[in-house]
Structure 1
Amino acid sequence: MASFHLIRYAGVDAMRYMAFDRPVLRGTAGLSFWRLLGTGRGRSMTPGADLRRWALFAVWDGEPALDAFLARSPVAARWRDEAAESWHARLAVLSSRGGWGGRDPLAAAAAVPPGGPGGGPVAVLTRASIRPRRLLAFYRSVPRVDGELRRQAGCLASVGAGEWPLARQATFSLWTDADAVARFAYRTAAHRDVIGRVRGEDWYAEELFARFVPYGTEGTWDGRDPLRA
């Protein structure tokens, strides 16, 4: 199983935690994969950064490992004690294709039936390592896709994130159901055009596309839990 954590601090000095938390996470039992991510100001992959908001995507050996981390890790303790706002979701894998750092971090994760239990909300993680010569084309395409995303009634929440400024980008989004994801991915003009250009012009050196059933959410994201609103 996986988890996603979105943390907002009161000040921009929180960016130091990107360095301080790495050795702690490397030593966390049962944590098989993780990435600390900066976030953008918009709902998708934009060049602007929100220096007060950070994210962690993690893959765990099982629920007990995540429970132990949340109960005993100094990273999780700081989230509770110092963060102005935090939101946490447990994620059961629906599907995953592609790689992150040369492997599929979700390959060994237990999958749930297609459509998920009850066919309810779906979380989507997209991640890409953009080829340097394609960065300009990529960021020129972002505003149209971002505009379409904002107009999607089925999108409950979305955040752009990244490991590296500009070149290693990701999005995490929540949707009412799998049909809403498909409508945006394949039936909106700007997104269809980008998909075609990604393939035809070889924009990405590496990419990952994964869908999850989000469950066990806790906390707030921009003042609310988007899955309970």
Structure 2
Amino acid sequence: MSQITTITLFKYKTLGSKLWAFGMMQFAHKPLKEVNGLQLYKLMGSGKPGFNPFADWSVYALIQIWDNEEAAKVFFEESNLMKKYRATSSENCSLFLKNMRAKGAWSGKNPFVESDTLDAQNPFIAVITRATIKTKLLFKFWNYVPISQRPLENNEGLLYAKGIGEVPFFQMATFSIWKDKESLMNYAYNSKEHAEAIVKTKELNWYSEELFSRFQPYKSLGYFKEIGKLPF
């Protein structure tokens, strides 16, 4: 399959640029809907460090699912919309991802197609998780998040992590980059706090919809200081 996914992170420093970015959460829809080869896109804000649900007005994300890499290449090289985003942001980075596995649903369906062109020599893994939290469980969920995320602090295998989302508090997602599968598995299955979070998820049934997706990052454009320089 030739489908690929890109996630672009934008950093804004000035008040004017932050207001512009917030406005584009509405005004970017029209040009994005007209992009050739774009299967699906998600405009997303972000939360404060530590997966805090309150907004971080300095960082925004754009997730895009493409028919193929060529369609993505045309967009990033020629799109007037992307040129405006780059000119307004102080930092921006686009990561190209091949899907390794995806389970669950996003807006009613699983949009990711598993790639058949993965590179066995590439150890890096990117993860996108997304969920819609049930209204009656919002307080319990966000009250527990700081506990479940403790193992991420000073985790040597974690290269980057950010909470992102479509609707603050209700529709949340996480994006993370790991140096290898072993680091991700160690967090997922050997962390007491994360294991307890999985149990609570099953017991309390936090979500009305959820999706877990794992990717192989293989190409990057631009620069984002918190991610640093990646070897592709």
For residues 114-149 of structure 1, the C-alpha deviation after alignment (integer angstroms, 9 at most, x for no partner) is xx5215110000001111111111111111222211
Runs of 4+ in 1 over 4 A off after TM superposition: none
- Size of the aligned set, in residue pairs, is 225
One-letter amino acid of the counterpart of residue 110, structure 1: S
Tell me: CA distance 1:192–1:161, structure 2 relative to 1, closer, same or farther (3 Å): same
Secondary structure at the residue paired with 1:104? coil
Q: Which residue of 2 aligns with 1:28?
A: 35
- Residue in 2 that maps onto 1:104: 110
Correspondence for 2:23 among 9, 16, 20: 16
CA displacement at 1:226 relative to structure 2:
5.0
Shift of 1:219: 2.1
Matched, 1:170 2:173: yes
Equivalent runs, 1:116-131 vs 2, <5 Å: 116-131=119-134
* Match of residue 221 from structure 2: 218
Q: 1:22 to 1:147 in 2, by over 3 A?
A: same
> In the alignment, residue 173 of structure 2 is paired with which amino acid?
A
Partner of 1:42: 49
**How much identity, in percent, do the aligned residues show?**
30
1:80 Cα shift? 2.4
State the shift of 1:20 in Å: 1.0
SS at match of 1:6: strand
TM-score after normalising by structure 1: 0.92
Maintained 8 Å contact 2:54/2:168: no
Question: What pairs up with 1:192-211 in 2 under 5 angstroms?
Answer: 192-211=195-214
TM superposition shift of 1:166: 0.2
Question: What is the Cα-based RMSD across aligned positions, in Å?
Answer: 1.7
Cα shift at 1:150: 1.4
For the residue of structure 1 that corresponds to 2:53, the secondary structure is: coil
Unaligned runs of 5+ in 1: none
Whether the 8 Å CA contact 2:95–2:218 is kept in 1: the answer is yes
What residue in structure 2 maps to residue 81 of structure 1? 87
User: Equivalences for 1:150-161 in 2 at 5 Å?
Assistant: 150-161=153-164
Alpha-carbon deviation of 1:105?
0.7
